[in-house]
Structure 1
Amino acid sequence: MMSALFALIAVAEVVLLGLIVVLRRRHPHWVLTLLILVVLALIWDNAVLATGATLGEGDALHALSLPRFWTHALLVPLLIMVGVGLGRGHGLRLLGGRATPAAFGVLTLLLIAVGARDDILLLDLEPTRYADTLRYTNAASDGPPIPAIVTILVLVGIGVALLVRARRPWLLAGAVVMFVAAGAGASMLWLSNLGELALILGVWLTATRLLSTGYPAGRDLTAA
């Protein structure tokens, strides 16, 4: 049952990926490129979770599981810059100028470094069963995923500003769902993955509304 649910989440993310790719072809902004990379990582994650029990323990599942951790460590914090780009596109003054985006860029790099340490350098995979699924988890993990938590909180903050300033609720809604789902995901893994889907949907809706309301397709979303 859980394996089928993860497969459905992967399919839904493939559909979202297609929508993002179509949007990027019409409006080739760098924020959409970053978003595509993140969605590809999430698709891989859910696809491996869906097929783990079928593959069984061994070298094949172990090898397929490595990119799950690598891509989460390297790509998920990029959502901060996606949020910053969309916020600037909607005219958020707190994200104006060059200093604030640069600060968020430094924060993103720091979170990537922390994730790389925890999920690449210190990665120690061990097989774990959940319902009818089989996956490899990081036995070296000894605390909450700080990079993911900080990323979500930043997106919540930008989402609040977008709601107040531009009446755009989708980023905030997706980030809040992700935050709640991540908290419950410690005991119910599927909730966390559904939360990721909701978050990406919120980001896509925010980007769609921005780019479909006459925002110049060739303009850099980080421009002051």
Structure 2
Amino acid sequence: MSIIYPLTHLSLALSEWVLISWAIRLWQQSTSLAMIVLPIVLVSISYDNLILSIGSLIGEGELLKTLSMLRFLLHYLVVPLFIVIGVELAHRAAASWVNKIVRVLSWVIALGLAAIDVATHYIGLELVPIEFAGILRYHVANLSGPPIITIVVNLFVLLIGIGIWFRLKWPWLFVGTLVSLIGNAMPSSAVGTLAGSFSELVMAISLLLTEERTQFFLVTQGGTLDFSQARN
């Protein structure tokens, strides 16, 4: 058990780089803004898994604590970007409610939530070492309650997933986001870090598959893969 958790986190970190290359390929096919933002999120998630996987090798001390501070900062900054990705996918699925104002507003909301998270959770952040199933990591001291902003972001994308499900007959964004919502709501102090990390991988895969679905949708609707005209 002591080696399974670190190796699994390392496998997740490497898998996320495969997903980054997948997202870049999809962007090259369509110039989808969602596929520009998603790699940014995946880099952060991959770093998170990497630090979790090697924490025991680094050992308790300032180095691991500093790397963990960066891990938390990246998390607070990039998780709200899932809102932008979800709105862009809805836009590409030709959802009538997604106009230019909504697309700009998604960035305003995402950046605003990131600023709130940094101001309320990162500034003055105190970390304490904790060990679970062979993983040594730094944990927020006196943490109380679930990650509210992460759950709010997941709920928002979940609603978009429902809309895409009805519009494109494609349930997988909803399913992937639901898995992420459940995984992030589970307390890491009780179940460890794998549940949340694995659920984020599942959500990222569902976003990539949904992008592929929207590309197919645009082809069938427009007859050609002309994204300069087909609501890109």
TM-score above 0.5, yes or no = yes
Residues 22-52 of structure 1, C-alpha deviations (whole Å, 9 max, x = no match): 2223332222111010000000000000000
CA–CA separation in structure 2 for the residues paired with 1:69 and 1:32: 23
1:108 to 107, 110, 115: 110
Are 2:85 and 1:49 equivalent residues in the alignment? no
TM-score, normalised to structure 2, is: 0.87
1:1-224 equivalent positions in 2, closer than 5 A: 1-95=4-98, 97-139=99-141, 141-186=143-188, 187-188=190-191, 189-213=193-217, 214=219, 215-218=225-228
Secondary structure at the aligned position of 1:126 is classed as: strand
**Residue identity matched to 1:30:** L
Q: CA deviation at 1:102?
A: 4.2
CA–CA separation in structure 2 for the residues paired with 1:219 and 1:138: 48
- Percent identity over the alignment is 27
Q: CA deviation at 1:103?
A: 4.0
CA–CA separation in structure 1 for the residues paired with 2:137 and 2:228: 43
Secondary structure at the aligned position of 2:139 is classed as: strand
Contact 2:146 2:185 in 1 (8 A): no
Contact 1:185 1:191 in 2 (8 A): no
Secondary structure at the aligned position of 1:111 is classed as: helix
CA–CA separation in structure 1 for the residues paired with 2:216 and 2:71: 33
Q: CA deviation at 1:140?
A: 5.3
CA–CA separation in structure 2 for the residues paired with 1:216 and 1:119: 44
Question: Judging changes above 3 Å, is the alpha-carbon distance between structure 1 residues 216 and 141 closer, same or farther for their aligned structure 2 residues?
Answer: farther
**Residue identity matched to 2:226:** P
CA–CA separation in structure 2 for the residues paired with 1:219 and 1:56: 54
Residues 49-106 of structure 1, C-alpha deviations (whole Å, 9 max, x = no match): 00001110112211211221111111110110110010011011232x3443344333
Residues 156-210 of structure 1, C-alpha deviations (whole Å, 9 max, x = no match): 0000000011112221111001111122243222111110000000001111222
Q: CA RMSD in A?
A: 1.9
Moved more, 208-217 or 38-47: 208-217
**Residue identity matched to 1:114:** I
CA–CA separation in structure 2 for the residues paired with 1:100 and 1:119: 28
Secondary structure at the aligned position of 2:97 is classed as: helix
**Residue identity matched to 1:7:** L
Moved more, 56-65 or 158-167: 56-65
TM-score, normalised to structure 1, is: 0.90
Q: CA deviation at 1:220?
A: 8.6
Secondary structure at the aligned position of 2:164 is classed as: helix
Question: Judging changes above 3 Å, is the alpha-carbon distance between structure 1 residues 17 and 98 closer, same or farther for their aligned structure 2 residues?
Answer: closer
Secondary structure at the aligned position of 1:94 is classed as: coil
CA–CA separation in structure 1 for the residues paired with 2:89 and 2:47: 25
Secondary structure at the aligned position of 1:93 is classed as: coil
Contact 2:146 2:187 in 1 (8 A): no
